[in-house]
Structure 1
Amino acid sequence: MKDFIASDDQALLDRHGLASFEALWSLELHAVDEPNEAPRGGWSTVYRLDLEGRGYYLKRQSNYLTHSLERPWGEPTLAREFRNIRRYQRLGIPAMSAAFYAQRRVVGERRAVLLTHALDGWQDLYSWLPEWEQLAVEQRQAIVSACGALARRVHERGQVHGCFYPKHIFLQPRGASFAAQLIDLEKTRPLVLGERDRVKDIEPLLRRTNAWNEVDRVGFLSAYLGGTQKLDHWLLRLGARLKDKAQRT
């Protein structure tokens, strides 16, 4: 895979000497959380980077691989996430965007770096939930509608997000409504099993939003379906899957 640098970020990275894999790999930064470790000794770490008032997140990986039928020997998980970022962009699905991507093989290591734009000014759905009951009804409906419309866009474009969780949905007020977009695209894949894939994709969100009441869930599904014509059917399908998941835990 060729090195990628977004045209809008080229000049800024150049000014700071960061327009290369080597510069971003060696840059000294404090990690935002504990590194993820792979079973065979690989690792993946995320850092915050601010340049001239513009925020980024830098991910660095070493031997942190994912395997597939197309790539049985594995590849950095960041390579898959970068491809999905670019796919979402082509498909017009609101999501995180990339500023830089590159990978290298270095003496037994497979290294990768991914620089993405920080969603400053956006707030993830998870952070709205603790005070959910204190929000105005109109605000709650605007949020659940934005989440439902986002899920519909993903599925209409033939994709399954794979991690449709409150922490991965970012929201921003737009007048009386909200805009919504996704992060964490590592597990995205094509939607091939129709309704079964769709139910499986959105059920985790309902399972993780205990603060939502029945009205909120109906509002989410109505936005997702574009109306209420099949609402009862979907409530039954999702209710059955939620019950099955609860019995397994």
Structure 2
Amino acid sequence: MTVAFSNASSDLSQPSLDSWWQTQGEWVEAPNERRSGCSGVQRMLQHGQLLYAKKQTGHTYRSLLHPWGRPTVLRERDALLGALKAGVTVPEIVYCAAERGADGWRAMLVTKALEGFTPLDEWYASHAREQCDAALQQQLLRQIARCLANLHRARRQHGCMYAKHIFVRIQAAASEMHCEVALLDLEKSRRRLTRKQAALHDMLQLRRHSPWDQADWQSLIGHYQQAMGRTFKTLYNATRR
């Protein structure tokens, strides 16, 4: 049994899982055993394009629709496509496939690197915040809020909402600075019954793992509630741990 997906608009896609599996690169996330299987991520360069390849063997999750197990990269692929449809910038899928043989599942997800983007926690750790004026900081918080609101309005929960999974790119545009925001690592993402469920789970989790002081957090929540079109009193009073 083989399940495959490739980006037809990309000339990087190759016809088989075997050819991608044999392509090697630098391990940026060493293979680790979990979920009764193994998963790791390699960084590779092909045709001048930086790619990230997640390789898995027997690494599955179970659900009502898949009681016997399904590779987690397929759930991540679905989440990336769902987030993109909701208007969220995410890594572009180049290739994704899963194959079940006599020894179990083998699966792979290849995405393009987010060129020019930096993890939010690293951006703050580099003291870039101190070099920004108040207007740019507010623009950044507003863009993050809109990005997360787009995801949650689609009832999609990220599931692992840490600052390191929010990526930012700040560039000069028409003599002004312009902020862009993207999300990474949607392996645990899933749909929720309501927008509120998705919102509270992710935003409270983000608060516990965020770099913001209370003033910046309240500003972010103000932008977020405006983008969501509703209020969440619980979020204003959330504190870091």
TM-score of the superposed pair, with normalisation by structure 2:
0.86
The equivalent residue for 2:203 is: 202
The equivalent residue for 2:91 is: 96
Report if aligned partners of 2:86, 2:150 keep a CA contact under 8 Å in 1. no
The equivalent residue for 2:29 is: 33
- 1:215 to partner: Cα distance: 2.5
- 1:6 to partner: Cα distance: 0.7
- 1:142 to partner: Cα distance: 2.2
- Counting only pairs closer than 5 Å after superposition, residues 1-249 of structure 1 correspond to structure 2 as 2-9=3-10, 11-13=11-13, 18-38=14-34, 40=36, 42-130=37-125, 131=127, 134-136=130-132, 137-174=134-171, 175=173, 176-210=177-211, 212-226=212-226, 234=232, 236-238=233-235, 242=239, 246=241
Relative to its length, the structure with more strand (as a share) is: 2
Report if aligned partners of 1:64, 1:77 keep a CA contact under 8 Å in 2. yes
Counterparts of 1:86 and 1:145, CA distance in 2? 23
Counterparts of 2:35 and 2:45, CA distance in 1? 32
- 1:12 to partner: Cα distance: 3.3
Counterparts of 2:35 and 2:214, CA distance in 1? 41
Counterparts of 1:53 and 1:199, CA distance in 2? 40
Counterparts of 1:19 and 1:194, CA distance in 2? 38
Q: Deviations over 1:83-133 (max 9, x none)?
A: 111222233322222110111123222100111111121111111122255
Report if aligned partners of 1:170, 1:181 keep a CA contact under 8 Å in 2. yes
Structure 1 residue runs of 4 or more that deviate by more than 3 Å after TM superposition:
239-243
TM-aligned CA distance change 1:80 to 1:152, over 3 Å: same
Task: Give the secondary-structure state (helix, strand or coil) at the position aligned to 1:78.
Answer: helix
- 1:19 to partner: Cα distance: 3.5
Counterparts of 1:241 and 1:72, CA distance in 2? 36
Counterparts of 1:204 and 1:127, CA distance in 2? 18
Bigger mean CA offset, 100-109 vs 55-64: 100-109
Task: State the identity %.
Answer: 26
Counterparts of 2:116 and 2:142, CA distance in 1? 20
Report if aligned partners of 2:35, 2:60 keep a CA contact under 8 Å in 1. no
Q: Deviations over 1:211-240 (max 9, x none)?
A: x2233112211221127x97xx63x41366
TM-aligned CA distance change 1:169 to 1:52, over 3 Å: same
Give the gaps of 5 or more residues in structure 1: none
Task: Give the secondary-structure state (helix, strand or coil) at the position aligned to 2:26.
Answer: coil
Counterparts of 2:159 and 2:12, CA distance in 1? 33
Q: Deviations over 1:43-92 (max 9, x none)?
A: 00100111122111011100011111111111111011111112222333
Aligned length: 234
Give the gaps of 5 or more residues in structure 2: none
Report if aligned partners of 1:203, 1:241 keep a CA contact under 8 Å in 2. yes
| Residue identity in the other structure for 1:191 | R
TM-aligned CA distance change 1:241 to 1:24, over 3 Å: same
TM-score of the superposed pair, with normalisation by structure 1:
0.84
Coordinate RMSD, CA, aligned: 2.4
